[in-house]
Amino acid sequence: MVKITYIEFNGTEHQVDVDEGLTVMEGARDNDIPGIEADCGGACACSTCHVYIDESWIDKLPNIEEMEKDMLEFAFSPDENKSRLTCQLTVTEELDGLIVRMPEKQI
């Protein structure tokens, strides 16, 4: 299990264990974390699983793919450096301790 901390816009923190192989979005969904809607179910066809990656983790994540970059254009207040779609982040042992922050709203 990999520990991920999800921080709501209001500052409420949720530290949960997520199975390797799931996505960060699935970890939020499976643990009833508010703030990640995931309307498309993880198909990278919306931007409702948008988060801001904690600065200490930005360089530790895989590079962003073009499809994800395109979908982020539809996100609410995307940040060129910190924004990611959680459906595109597969949970691995290397992500143990990951911190993500939710935007004020999705779309």
pTM: 0.96
Range of the domain at 63: 2-101
56 strand-pairing partners: none
Share of the chain above pLDDT 90, in %: 99
Residues 48-64, mean pLDDT to the nearest whole number = 97
In a domain, 53, yes or no: yes
Residue 106 domain flag: no
pLDDT at 107: 86
Q: In 3D, which of 67, 89, 92, 64 has the Cα closest to residue 79? A: 64
Domain membership of residue 107 (yes or no) is no
Q: What is the CATH number of the domain that holds 58?
A: 3.10.20.30
Q: For the chain, list the strands marked E by DSSP.
A: 2-7, 13-18, 50-53, 83-85, 98-101
Q: Of 101, 18, 22, nearest to 54 (Cα)?
A: 101
- Whether residue 27 is contained in a domain is answered as yes
